[in-house]
Amino acid sequence: MADTAAPLAMGAERVDRPGLLQRIFLHNVPAKIAALPMVATVLVVFVGCVAWTIYYSFTNSKLLPTGKFVGFDQYERLFATSRWNVSVWNLIAYGSMSLVFTLVIGFILAVLIDQKIRFESAFRTIMLYPFALSFIVTGLVWQWIMNPTLGLQGTLRGLGWTGFTFDWIANPRMVLFALLIAGLWHGTGFCMVLMLAGLRGVDEEVWKAARIDGIPTWRTYVSIVIPMMRGVLVTAVVIIGSGIVRLYDLVVALTNGGPGISSEVPAKYVFNYMFSGGNIGQGLAGATMMLLTVLIIMIPWAYLEFGGKGRRT
Amino acid sequence: MSMTATIPAGTPMAAGANEPRGQRPKPFFTPKKIMLYTVLVFFSLYYLFPLYVMLTTSLKTMPEIRFGNIFALPTAPSFDAWFKAWSSACTGLTCNGLAPGFWNSVKITIPSTIVSIFIAAVNGYALVNWRFKGSEIFFSILIFGSFIPYQVMLYPLVMITRELGIFGSLQAVILIHTIFGMPILTLLFRNYFASLPQELFKAARVDGAGFWRIFFEIMLPMSLPIFVVALILQITGIWNDFLFGVVFAGNVNYPMTVQLNNIVNSAQGTPEYNVNMAATVLTGLVPLTVYFVSGKWFVRGVAAGAVKG
Amino acid sequence: MQQSVSIRDLTLNFGSVKVLEHLNLDIAQGEFIVLLGPSGCGKSTLLNCIAGLLDVSDGQIFISGKNVTWLEPKDRGIGMVFQSYALYPQMTVEKNLSFGLRVAGMPKAEIDQRVARAAEILQIQPLLQRKPANLSGGQRQRVAIGRALVRDVDVFLFDEPLSNLDAKLRSDLRVEIKRLHQRLKNTMIYVTHDQIEALTLADRIAIMKNGVIQQLADPATIYNKPVNLYVAGFIGSPSMNFIPGTLDGETFTANDGTRIPVGAYDFVTRLSGATKSVLGVRPEHILLGDAARNMPFQTQAEIEIVEPMGSETLAWTKVAGVPVTFRCSSDIPLHVGEKVTVGFDIARGSLFNAESEARL
Ligand SMILES: Nc1ncnc2c1ncn2[C@@H]1O[C@H](COP(=O)(O)OP(=O)(O)OP(=O)(O)O)[C@@H](O)[C@H]1O
Ligand SMILES: [Mg+2]
């Protein structure tokens, strides 16, 4: 707006130029009205609500949110609560296993499917259908299968294999693996689909060139194809990772945090404190910690994808 | 057929005639192939086993479950457990079965799907064809927001819906689904509209058509594929939701997933596993039907969610 | 026998689709062969069979006298250059060149020596530490050629290596490939659908259609004595003028009754009696003015369209009732509507049987 410095006498000539306010409110009006829900969602929910949660996590809100500012008190209490600490450790342990196994299994399945096999679409359909089901359904089915007396363990013992043990949902030390089995059942098919899209995106001539160079298949995957799939891999990590942080329904359905508190997760901790524990400040502090975790995953990704300008072709 | 081309062992190499010719001989069973199919079948069993267990258990009677084994087929398949799960299974308090939950889920899913898709379609259209200052920033925050755990926004949203006087009602759940479905759907529509030839839009503008006219008369008729993808994504996503149903719907409006969890996990007395599994199957039926009917489209929807802007 | 590559009775099916059928081709040591044909005629398929990237359905392939029909690509003594370059994107140029050798376990000193030689030949020494993303299209294609070069093979296969480049770069690299061939004297099999590339590079051109080689000959023969209507129409731009009519002895009668004496024509086969046939004359074999008067056939024609091309001019007219193009020096002024005398250089024309489409 260089012309704002022009003498006032010439102001009359500037009338036909839209001013700043006019440009914001009168230009492109229907589009702005149409985008109102989006703008409202962004401002109210993704900015407003998040800011509200962060702010009130520094207050001593109990049954109702109040304005009394108490600094990091809630956080100190959070990390002094064993249930929270167990939740965090569970998330780390479950999350890292789940992430690694989902990626590895998803990739291996995608590679197998990509071998010009027969019945490709049947295999793909079988692998992806669990992803269409809810976590509640997933959790309940596996709860039944892993039922120590009547499920897999009971059946195999009844068939004569008396030493067989598969009581993971009732065993505090193994319960995370029970969660893992159900989680992988639900999510590996999705990862496979992503990886398969990545594999199919690799130029076929690159494969031909590698064959002519005499590079063994496994070596081609490791040295050429996987590095070429960087984009898909990163996307998969971000999507799977932020799904893990949210982990809630599956735990509720499969173990409800038990036995004891051995399979608690942060999302459940936060939920309970907000809606039944009567200690909103604690819930909000926990929620803020979850946000922080996601940011730790997201920021390097956002930097890689959008920060290093012009690196991607 | 290819066997005719192989050289019989021990035959002296007569010039030309016996040299490699035609298709390279490939045994039908190579160790590699056997490994490949073994692994695939093994994983398929892992994926299929729960479905099998779900179905067979739901068709058995309780004594059969107690004394039989989990692999066995039902000796006398009966749908009694299904009927019970549908109409008279007990949650902690009431004994109306899943049916009310099913109808609640229908009442939640249909309007939520329609509203969220419509709004996202308009968003995507405005973002591609009617950019205004800041539109891309709003979009970036929207996408970024889709990775924020719901728990972070849950409590303030409860307060907002309470202020609006809709907390604990269907409207609240519909609103929440519209909000949280917006990032992914907007991305979907934005990418789709961006892939359409821009000349069409320009030509329509030159012809004097405005925002809504172009949207309804030019864009929508060309967007059937992406609507199908969005539809699949939303129907399965909303049907499978648990968290928003629990928090925002209120007791009388609990969706099917919540009812199901209550039936299985907070029922009193001896658990009836056949009824539990029947209820589980019933709850999974809608998304499974969508999945099997839509086939490739479901895969497209799932993959579209992974395409970044 | 100095055959570098021999293909015997090659048949290839994709399921029930027969792409190549009983194809035979012999290529001499050091020869530059171009496979030319429209999209989908099976050029890449043939090349992939030679490379071993596709398993043949029937037939045999020999390279340097060895039956390679069942061998892996790496053992066939071939190098291949692809249209999309197919460079390994995360490796530097040097790694790209040496990767295959390293995997094969070649001693480091020898790898370095081969990479250095390839880099010198292709003049890509300054690029060795760069990644493919930071190279121009022409540079990338050079690296791709280098990858075939370091393998030190007898036969080079090119699948439309220049199609992704712009016109200028394409003609530069074309010259370079020719120079490379003169220096290395390797056998080269080159697929393209650009006829200029084919005519300038090839020792012999194989024109393909629907998986069948129509004509295999040196560029001059292909251009001047096409064996059938298809080849005649495919090669040359603007394409050959075709006048349908009837041939009886040494007189060709066009469908509108114009009689054209074709005694000067060098017949391959002589037919007795009247035969439906097609007379083909290239635009540059239609002469004007004084030159036309010495020709066995001349007529008056009205100019309909004039296209000045710089060094020459293309003109459109009608002879014997069909549209005809001719080419003349741009010094001659031509005007639309003007009547000129045109003459056909029948000795350099072509006659085809209208039914079998074969050259007469
Ligand atoms: N994997 C395949 N399965 C079935 N048909 C195929 C396959 N690959 C190629 N074809 C068919 O074989 C024919 C020849 O294909 P090819 O790629 O050799 O053509 P081309 O001459 O190289 O064409 P272009 O100039 O377009 O590269 C085509 O009709 C094509 O559709
Ligand atoms: Mg090709």
Give the pLDDT of residue A26.
Answer: 65
Q: What is the mean pLDDT of residues A96-110?
A: 95
Domain chopping of chain C, boundaries = 3-228, 234-353
- Check pLDDT > 80 for residue B266: no
More confident residue, A16 or B284: B284
- Check pLDDT > 80 for residue C285: yes
Lowest mean pLDDT across A115-124, A150-159, C125-134: A150-159
Distance A65 CA to ligand 2 centre (A): 69
B44–A24 CB contact, under 8 Å:
no
Q: What are C145-156's pLDDT values in tens digits?
A: 999 999 889 899
Q: Residue A91, SS3? A: helix
- Check pLDDT > 60 for residue B87: yes
Please report which helix (H) or strand (E) contains residue C62, including its range: strand C58-63
In terms of average pLDDT, the best of A67-71, A150-154, A197-201 is A197-201
Q: How far apart are CA A73 and CA A50, in angstroms?
A: 19
Q: Is C56 on the interface with B (CB under 8 A)?
A: yes
- Point out the ligand 1 atom lying closest to the alpha carbon of residue C42: 18
Q: What is the mean pLDDT of residues C273-293?
A: 88
B21–C57 CB contact, under 8 Å:
no
Give the mean pLDDT of chain C.
Answer: 90
Buried b (16+ CB within 10 A) or exposed e, A260-286: ebbbbbbbbbbbbbbeeeebbbbbbbb
Q: What is the mean pLDDT of residues B269-288?
A: 89
Q: What is the mean pLDDT of residues B163-185?
A: 91
Q: How far apart are CA C38 and CA B36, in angstroms?
A: 39
Q: Is A155 on the interface with B (CB under 8 A)?
A: yes
Distance C46 CA to ligand 1 centre (A): 10
Q: What is the mean pLDDT of residues B197-217?
A: 85
Q: Which residues of C touch A215 (CB under 8 A)?
A: 99-100, 103
Q: What is the mean pLDDT of residues B64-70?
A: 82
- Res. A231 pLDDT band, cuts 50 70 90: confident
The one-letter amino acid at C294: N
Alpha carbon A139 to its chain's center: 18
Residues contacting A203, CB < 8 A, separation 6+: C84, C86
- Check pLDDT > 70 for residue C208: yes
Distance A163 CA to ligand 2 centre (A): 62
Alpha carbon B80 to its chain's center: 29
- Check pLDDT > 90 for residue C229: yes
Q: Which of A202, A203, A204, A212 to mutate to test the interface with C (most CBs of C within 10 A)?
A: A212
Q: Is B22 on the interface with C (CB under 8 A)?
A: yes
Ligand 1, atom 2, lies closest to the CA of C14
Buried b (16+ CB within 10 A) or exposed e, B82-120: bebbbeebbbeeeeebbbbbbebbebbbebbbebbbebb
Q: What is the mean pLDDT of residues B163-189?
A: 90
Largest Cα separation within chain A, whole Å, is 102
More confident residue, B157 or B200: B157
Q: Residue B60, SS3? A: coil
Q: Which residues of C touch A313 (CB under 8 A)?
A: 133
Nearest to B121 by CA among A42, A29, A34: A34
Domains of chain B in start order, with CATH, are 37-78 (no CATH), 108-254+286-306 (1.10.3720.10)
Q: How far apart are CA C88 and CA C103, in angstroms?
A: 14
* Pick among 3.90.10.10, 1.10.3210.10, 1.10.3720.10, 2.40.50.140: CATH of A73-312: 1.10.3720.10
Task: Specify the CATH class of C3-228 in words.
Answer: alpha beta
C69–B21 CB contact, under 8 Å:
yes
Q: Is C83 in the pocket of ligand 1 (CB under 6 A)?
A: no
Q: What is the mean pLDDT of residues B8-21?
A: 51
- Res. B14 pLDDT band, cuts 50 70 90: very low
Give the pLDDT of residue B307.
Answer: 52
Nearest to A292 by CA among C252, B291, B248, B147: B147
- Check pLDDT > 70 for residue A18: no
CA distances from B24 to A298, B7, C49, C72, C253 (A): 50, 11, 12, 10, 55
The bound ligand whose nearest atom lies closest to the alpha carbon of C37 is 1
Taking a C-beta distance cutoff of 8 angstroms, is the pair B255, B191 a contact?
no
Distance C205 CA to ligand 1 centre (A): 20
Token pair of B264 as six digits: 């299985």
More confident residue, B9 or A93: A93
Distance C44 CA to ligand 2 centre (A): 4
- Check pLDDT > 60 for residue B103: yes
Q: Is C209 in the pocket of ligand 1 (CB under 6 A)?
A: no
Q: What are C14-69's pLDDT values in tens digits?
A: 888 999 989 999 999 999 999 999 998 999 999 999 999 999 999 999 999 889 98
- The number of helices, as runs of H, and strands, as runs of E, in chain C is 9, 21
More confident residue, A298 or A135: A135
Q: Is B2 on the interface with C (CB under 8 A)?
A: no
Q: How far apart are CA C242 and CA A230, in angstroms?
A: 56
Give the mean pLDDT of chain A.
Answer: 84
Q: How far apart are CA A3 and CA B68, in angstroms?
A: 88
Q: Give the closest-approach CA distance of A308 to chain C in angstroms.
A: 15
Give the pLDDT of residue A20.
Answer: 64
Nearest to A56 by CA among A279, A296, A294: A279
A211–C53 CB contact, under 8 Å:
yes
Domain chopping of chain A, boundaries = 2-56, 73-312
- Point out the ligand 1 atom lying closest to the alpha carbon of residue C47: 18
More confident residue, B3 or B172: B172
Give the pLDDT of residue B28.
Answer: 78
Lowest mean pLDDT across A99-108, B64-73, B107-116, C106-115: B64-73
By CA distance, what is C151's nearest residue in A? Answer: A213
Q: What is the mean pLDDT of residues A136-158?
A: 88
- Check pLDDT > 50 for residue C262: yes
Residues with CB under 5 A from ligand 2 (ion): C 44
Surface-to-core class of residue C91, CB atoms within 10 Å of its CB (0-12 exposed, 13-18 middle, 19+ buried): middle
Give the nearest partner residue to C58 out of B19, B22, B25, using CB atoms.
B22
- Point out the ligand 1 atom lying closest to the alpha carbon of residue C41: 21
Nearest to B189 by CA among B163, B167, B220, B212: B220
Q: Is C17 in the pocket of ligand 1 (CB under 6 A)?
A: yes
Q: What is the mean pLDDT of residues C261-289?
A: 86
Give the pLDDT of residue A8.
Answer: 41
Dihedral sign, Cα of residue C59, residue C63, residue C69, residue C74: negative
Task: Specify the CATH class of C234-353 in words.
Answer: mainly beta
Share of chain C above pLDDT 70, in %: 99
- Check pLDDT > 90 for residue B71: no
